[in-house]
């Protein structure tokens, strides 16, 4: 149940970003300008990846690999609420798209999901931190790759 709530929150967060982040990125120091079609492409793949991870975890909750993968993904997404969303909003004194859904939806649902996994799994807090860092690195790499691929796919000639 907790994973499902988190995935719904993540979807709503990504919808908010898809609607407002491309325009915001044109004036932001925190985000390279990204075209709406490129961002929508990347955010759709990232959202589907989160759903695939959630489904795999729900199918095999006893798998240590799935526990690491799911907690790492959730942890990385929770860190994303702070950096860049909260930091960008504070530094630029202008709302960063995704902050409200991050604070009101992602942090509560993600925290509940991680606590649920932590209580029912063999993971320690250090394991969750390591998984979060690893998943964060992979997520950043995936997003950069998807932006580059999206720019090639949607290149205006």
Q: Which of helix, strand or coil describes residue 35?
A: coil
Distances from the Cα of 4 to the Cα of 29, 51, 124, 135, angstroms: 34, 9, 23, 19
Number of domains present in the structure of the chain: 1
Nearest to 75 by CA among 134, 132, 11: 132
Confidence of residue 31 (pLDDT cuts 50, 70, 90): confident
Please give the pLDDT value at position 157: 58
The per-residue pLDDT for 11 is 98
- Structural contact between residues 21 and 31, judged by C-beta atoms closer than 8 angstroms: yes
Reply yes or no on whether the pLDDT at 27 is more than 80.
Answer: yes
Task: Name the DSSP letter for residue 85.
Answer: I
Q: Percent of the chain scored above 90 by pLDDT?
A: 92
pLDDT at 72 over 70: yes
What is the C-alpha separation between 100 and 106, in angstroms, rounded?
9
CA-to-CA separations, 56 to 66, 90, 140, in angstroms, rounded:
7, 37, 21
Please tell me the predicted confidence (pLDDT) of residue 121: 83
Q: Using one digit for the tens of pLDDT, what is the confidence trace for 85-103?
A: 999 999 999 999 999 999 9
Q: Is 116 helix (H, G, I), strand (E, B) or coil?
A: helix
Q: What is the mean pLDDT of the chain?
A: 95
Instruction: Dump pLDDT digits (tens) for 36-68.
Output: 999 999 999 999 999 999 999 999 999 999 999
Q: Quick one: average pLDDT of 132-153?
A: 97
Per the structure, the complete domain to which residue 36 belongs is given by: 2-153
Task: Find the distance separating the first CA and the last CA of the chain, reported in whole Å.
Answer: 46
């Amino acid at each position: 149940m907790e994973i499902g709530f988190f995935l719904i929150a993540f979807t709503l967060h990504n919808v908010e970003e898809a609607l407002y982040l491309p325009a915001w990125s044109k004036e932001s120091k925190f985000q390279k300008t990204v075209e709406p079609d490129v961002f929508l492409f990347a955010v759709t793949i990232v959202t589907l990846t989160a759903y695939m991870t959630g489904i795999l975890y729900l199918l095999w909750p006893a798998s240590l690999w799935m526990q690491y993968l799911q907690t790492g993904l959730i942890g990385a997404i929770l860190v994303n609420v702070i950096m860049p969303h909260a930091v960008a909003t504070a530094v630029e004194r202008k709302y960063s798209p995704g902050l409200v859904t991050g604070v009101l939806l992602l942090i509560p649902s993600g925290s509940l999901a991680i606590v649920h996994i932590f209580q029912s799994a063999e993971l320690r807090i250090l394991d969750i931190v390591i998984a979060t860092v690893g998943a964060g690195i992979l997520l950043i790499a995936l997003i950069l790759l998807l932006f580059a691929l999206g720019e090639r796919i949607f290149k205006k000639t």
